[in-house]
Amino acid sequence: MILGASNNLIPFKFWFCYNARRFEMGLEPVFYLWVEIMDVLKLIETTVNGLGYELVDVERAGRGLLRVFIDKPEGISVDDCQVVSNQLTRLFMVENVDYDRLEVSSPGLDRPLKKEADFLRFAGEKAQLKLRMPLAGRKNFVGVIGALENGVLQLDVDGVQVAIELANLDKARLVPTF
């Protein structure tokens, strides 16, 4: 459809538009929600990093719950969670972020691995990986994290080196050892 061909279409960044009538009925377009979520993630990451913590993950759950997982090399205490929670609460009030409850916590012993830096930091640790597409007929691997080069992770699975592309990674978590 050509932009400007109808009065009820509103252009978005010169290449995308949505039907204004749906928006007026209270149905927010998907791209609008995605942009809002990305802005909130940037706000949270900037604030958490500014306080000296690492942002591990952010989850939005039902009924307006917003979960923020933070970490630092020495570990996270309840006081750390309180500091971040207070700062984010103030920030959300100023920025008018819509949420009902905020939870700030450590990622736990089975911490998710999301970034390349996580795999480098936890090299030599045991991890559980789930792939998007099977590799050698398997999607799930448990092994020791090895080297990471050019987006390819070396994982030692029972003495066998397996090369896994990070682009094929669906989920990765540390396996706690007691």
pLDDT digits (tens, 9 = 90+) for 129-140: 999 999 989 999
pLDDT score at 169: 93
Nearest to 65 by CA among 28, 105, 34: 105
Residue 112 DSSP one-character state = B
Whether residue 170 contacts residue 127, with contact meaning beta carbons closer than 8 Å, is answered with: no
Angle subtended at Cα 110 by Cα 142 and Cα 140, rounded to the nearest 5 degrees = 25
pLDDT score at 97: 83
Range of the domain at 161: 116-174
2 located within any domain: no
| Burial annotation 143-178 (CB, 10 A radius, 16+ → b, else e) | bbbbebeeeebbbeeeeeebebebebbeebbbeeee
Among 82, 105, 128, where does a domain finish?
A: 105
Q: Are residues 121 and 65 in the same domain?
A: no
Q: Are residues 152 and 123 in the same domain?
A: yes
Determine the Cα–Cα distance for residues 166 and 151; give it in Å rounded to an integer: 6
1 located within any domain: no
pLDDT digits (tens, 9 = 90+) for 76-105: 999 999 999 999 999 988 888 888 899 999
Helices (runs of H) and strands (runs of E) counted in the chain: 4, 10
pLDDT score at 34: 42
Among 59, 79, 105, where does a domain finish?
A: 105
The domain that holds 146 is classified in CATH as: 2.30.30.100
Q: Are residues 39 and 83 in the same domain?
A: yes
Residue 15 predicted with pLDDT over 60: no
pLDDT score at 36: 57
Structural domain total, the chain: 2
Q: Are residues 87 and 141 in the same domain?
A: no
Residue 157 predicted with pLDDT over 90: yes
Residue 24 predicted with pLDDT over 60: no
- Per the confidence metrics, is the pTM higher than 0.75? no
Among 79, 105, 131, where does a domain finish?
A: 105
Q: Are residues 161 and 138 in the same domain?
A: yes
Residue 127 DSSP one-character state = E
10 located within any domain: no
% of the chain at pLDDT higher than 90: 61
pLDDT score at 116: 92
Compute the mean pLDDT over every residue in the chain, rounded to the nearest whole number: 82
Q: Are residues 70 and 127 in the same domain?
A: no
149 located within any domain: yes
